Chain A
Amino acid sequence: MALLFDSVAKSTSICSLSVGNEGSTNRNRIGSLGAKSLSNLLQRNHLISLLDIRNLNIGFEYLQIMAEGFAKSNSLVYINLSRNEITAEASQILSQALLKKAIEGLDLSLNPLGDLGVRQICQLMIHGSHRLVRIDLSNCSFSNQVGNNLFSAIVGKSNNLIRLNIAGNLFGQ
């Protein structure tokens, strides 16, 4: 995957990159080299606006490597990080990396963010320089209390949000 990212980094036409695994297939693997190459791509290429890297077993280790790329990209608008074993710790790194970015859509579904991880996303919604328009936090294992934090963010500074997915959590309990 590192080779692919190195090539895309030089592309002057590709604006949408989808390399995630769909469904139960796990053919694509990112590894630390791929994560580093993706980070470099995001820093060098100024066209990629949509990045789909779902189900690549990214976790804390590889997200930490990619964070600089997210922070320095000036074109990313939508990121799909669904089903990547992203925990609260990784969520904090992601939120900080995206704080000053023009991200409009973020898919973090099927990640074990828990209450702490979703609180980090609330911080991004409140303090981010650009307002999220769509966010998917389905099946992220957060509670009613943090669900209320999420809605507080919507009432407050994140009132541009148009699409919210919180299915499969413990919001009503």
Chain B
Amino acid sequence: MSIVGQALSKSALKKLFAANNSCGDAAAIVFAESLRLFTCNLEYLDLSSNEITDKAGVKLADALRSNKKLKYLDLSDNGLSISTSEKLAASIRENTSLNQLKT
């Protein structure tokens, strides 16, 4: 697991503001994989303006199905298609913790 993944899944970190960092899909997939772990304590994640495309968007949508802690997720100003937005919409029907989603 990458160092970022370890930090997200083995720490007390609850709020991460990471907007506008050119993260791209590779880093966003790490975030998605971490969100799937019950040890991840993130409640607030801002990944806006990070050149994220459908490849990572789908992984994030999948992660939302099982995540039970995230309350805020900002994916605005990325390259997500309508199809991925629909997957996100389907996921949040199963998610019980998310209060705010920005795409």
A residues in contact (CB < 8 Å) with B: 138, 147-148, 151-152, 154-155, 159-173
Tell me the dominant secondary structure on chain B's binding face: loop
With known contacts A148-B3, A148-B4, A168-B20, A154–B50 Cβ distance under 8 A: no
A164:B13 contact, CB within 8 angstroms: yes
B residues in contact (CB < 8 Å) with A: 3-4, 6-7, 10-24, 26-27, 46, 50-51
With known contacts A148-B4, A164-B16, A171–B21 Cβ distance under 8 A: yes
| B53: min CB distance to chain A, Å | 13
| B92: min CB distance to chain A, Å | 24
Contacting residue for B23 out of A148, A160, A168, A171, CB 8 A: A171
Chain B hits for A160, CB < 8 A: 12
B3:A172 contact, CB within 8 angstroms: no
| B70: min CB distance to chain A, Å | 15
Query: Could you list 5 A-B pairs, sorted by A, with CB under 8 Å?
Result: A151-B4, A160-B12, A161-B13, A163-B14, A172-B26
List the 10 closest pairs (A to B, CB-CB), nearest first.
Answer: A172-B23, A151-B7, A165-B17, A171-B21, A172-B22, A167-B19, A163-B15, A154-B7, A159-B11, A155-B6
B18:A166 contact, CB within 8 angstroms: yes
B21:A152 contact, CB within 8 angstroms: no
Nearest A residue to B28, CB-CB: A172
Chain A hits for B11, CB < 8 A: 154-155, 159, 161
Chain A hits for B17, CB < 8 A: 138, 164-167
Contacting residue for A151 out of B3, B15, B19, CB 8 A: B3
A151:B6 contact, CB within 8 angstroms: yes
| A101: min CB distance to chain B, Å | 20
Nearest A residue to B50, CB-CB: A172
Contacting residue for A172 out of B14, B16, B21, B46, CB 8 A: B21
**Complex: A160 Cα to B7 Cα, angstroms:** 11
| A146: min CB distance to chain B, Å | 12
Contacting residue for A168 out of B4, B10, B21, CB 8 A: B21
Nearest A residue to B51, CB-CB: A172
| B22: min CB distance to chain A, Å | 4
